Each structure stands twice: as structure tokens, then as C-alpha cells.
Amino acid sequence: MKNLALFILASALAPFAIAKHHKGKDGFVSLYNGKDLTGWKTTGNWIPQKDGSLLIQPRPGEKGWQRYDDYLTSVKKYKDFVLEVEYKYPKGGNSGVYFRIGDPKDPVKTGIECQILDSFGKPNDKMGHHDHGGIIRTVGPTKNMSKKPGEWNKMIVTCKGHHLQVNLNGEKIIDHQLNKKGEGKQSGVSDRPSEGYVSLQDHGEPNNLHFRNIRIKEL
């Protein structure tokens, strides 16, 4: 009977054990375990791959970026943090890294998006807030650090209070105060909450993108 009771207790606690993400010695926690979508919410077609990456492959007919439930959104909220994510896009690929989302039902209006886009080859002086590494409606990257389609990119987003920095493929491309207006005619994101969810965008078919090494360190 004792063994049976222990088995029942272990079974009841199993989901909570699986849901826990372990912190590494460097303070980072892996948000994706390489096997399943524990710790995330989505109705989209996010498919774990054998190499430990995660593929977003919209189903036939799933078009457009306003299908917010199909985004891959964290269960937990984050305030001040360093977020790392690696990804590769196909030619013309489009997605985005969202953070500090107040309402997952509308990440565009209640969160902050750092653009993922195949901007390879675009001149630095032509890069704007809608190009790769730009903060949508706020500020464009200082330089184009986009890899060729099919190659892995690494983005590091650091949020501490109002201070936002983005590093792309080894270069700092964004250094912005979130409580200030955006560049030029851009409105900025000063009305966004200081704490919220992390999310990866499903931009609709075809746009098959791979993600891996999604990690976060709370500050």
C-alpha cells in the first residue's frame, strides 16, 4: 500500500516536475526543452524537430499575422531580462520576437516586437523599424546584420526598466529608451507594460522558420 501511495503521489506531481525549467550556472533558463511545448501556449503548428529545434509550419490556409492564438506564447511573465533566441528563415521569411506582452490576445498592441525578416543584402542606410532587428513602430537597427536565408541568426534582447538593447549576430543594433517616442514619425511603445509574456510570431504560410536555444535570464 505504501508503494502504491508513493506511485500515486509521484504521478500527481509529474506534470509540475516536467513544467519546471532548470536554471543553468550562467543564470539562464531554457524556455524550450527541445522535445515538447511545455511552458508555452499555442494553437499553431509548432513542431519539435529531431535536432532539438522547433519548426513553425503554418497549416494550409493559415495566412496572415493576426491569428494571435497561433503565436507561441510563454506561460510565465517576465519583467527585466536577457532573452536569447536562435533562428533561421527561408527566403522571404517573416516572424517576430515579442516581449512584455500585457494581453496575449493582442500582442501587437500590448507588447513589443523585435522583427525577424529576411533582410539579407539590404543597405544599412535603408534599414527601418520593419526590417530585421528593428523594433516595430519605434526604431530601426543601426546596421543590417542579417544572415543569408537558411543560416542561423542569434538575437539577444536585454530589457532593464525602460532601457532596451538588441544584439544581432554579435553586433549591438538597438539601444533605446522605451519611455521615449520612436524615431522620426514612429509612435514608439511607451504605453506598453513593464512586465509581460514572451512570444514568437506565426506570420502565416508559407514562412517555415526554425528556432532553437530559446533562453532567458531574469535580472
CATH number of the domain that 128 lies in?
2.60.120.560
- Residue range 115-173, pLDDT digits in tens: 999 999 999 999 999 999 999 999 999 999 999 999 999 999 999 999 999 999 999 99
Residue 117 forms part of a structural domain:
yes
Tally of domains in the chain = 1
Q: Are 192 and 178 in contact (CB under 8 A)?
A: yes
Mind listing the pLDDT tens digit for each residue in 23-37? 888 899 999 999 999
Strands of 112-117's sheet in order across: 40-41, 72-78, 196-200, 94-101, 112-117
Lookup: cell for 122: 539590404
Q: Is the dihedral of CA 61, 64, 70, 72 positive or negative?
A: positive
For residue 207, being part of any structural domain is answered with yes
Residue 19: pLDDT band (50, 70, 90) is very low
CA angle 75, 197, 90 (to 5 degrees): 95
Top pLDDT among 26 and 48 is at: 48
